[in-house]
Amino acid sequence: MNRQPAVAGSFYPADKHVLEKELSELLPDKAEKSSAKGIVVPHAGYMYSGPVAGEVYSSVELPDTFIILCPNHTGYGSDFDLWSEGDWLTPLGSASVDADLCEKLQQYFPRATQDGRAHIREHSLEVQIPFLQYLKGKIRFVPLCIRQWHFEYLEELGHAISRIVSESDRPILIIASSDMTHYERQESAERKDRLAIQQMEKLDARGLYDTVHQHDISMCGYLPATAAMIAAKDLGAVSGRLVKYATSGDRTGDYGSVVGYAGLIF
């Protein structure tokens, strides 16, 4: 079953040519790119978080295959909701779900279930696809939407992902989709986000998980980021690097209530 775009025309342009022009402006041309096991990228409308996402995608060597983890904003679907077949459609064309890797994920991590309802209206994974299509053309990916917050389950997921990547005969990049603090004053958002970013820079998955809970940080994708960090560390990553941080206030000029956006490379 193919997935129709849910937020084309709102989070990003629905017209192919307008979208291509916007992506070309968001993606700086970089001569040197880093090799990465995983990345964290934001998922707001392109006018807000696009410059941070573009900076990350321009900074890493991109393969053709991805495991993309996103948070569940709608509450629908299963705790670990896997869309396991078909294509995802965007104004730039179709992106293929890697059914073989989805099957492996279910084998190594049986908590992943083929429900699909979590993905129908979810924006946080969809907005990553046009960046990857623009840069790589045809891509394959595993889409997993996460609602379950138990650390032990995230740990199981991270180990399963690292096993899939290490056993693959082709490179796979792990992508965690997350925005940072939501709707606080700029000073408060920057302070809280710095605490979370420090844990990601140390590649401390448990540290990020605990910090978000202890300091009441409204980082919506900390569950995907936690699992991605565990997988990246299994695969040999030793640290995270902050590529860019910004807030919605940088775009709107309103610093009284902002959303934070951080882009990192593991």
Q: What percent of the chain has pLDDT over 90?
A: 98
Question: How far is it, in rounded angstroms, from Cα 254 to Cα 249?
Answer: 5
Tell me the average pLDDT across 193-197. Answer: 98
Query: Per residue in 47-92, pLDDT tens?
Result: 999 999 999 999 999 999 999 999 999 999 999 999 999 999 999 9
**Residue whose pair of structure tokens reads 């940072």 in the numeric block:** 180
Tell me the average pLDDT across 110-132. Answer: 97
- 3-state DSSP assignment of residue 230: helix
Task: Indicate the pLDDT class of residue 1, thresholds 50, 70 and 90.
Answer: confident
DSSP 144-189: EEE----HHHHHHHHHHHHHHHHH-SS-EEEEEE----EEE-HHHH
Tell me the H-state helices in the chain. 16-26, 46-59, 99-108, 117-120, 123-126, 129-136, 151-167, 186-201, 205-214, 222-234, 249-252
Task: Indicate the pLDDT class of residue 220, thresholds 50, 70 and 90.
Answer: very high
Average pLDDT, the chain: 98
Predicted pLDDT at 197: 98
Does the pLDDT at position 135 exceed 90?
Answer: yes
Residue 109 has phi, psi (to 5 degrees) of -140, 80
Q: What is the C-alpha end-to-end distance of the chain, expressed in Å?
A: 33
Question: How far is it, in rounded angstroms, from Cα 72 to Cα 178?
Answer: 11
Question: pTM above the 0.75 mark?
Answer: yes
Q: What six digits make up the tokens of 97?
A: 């779900």
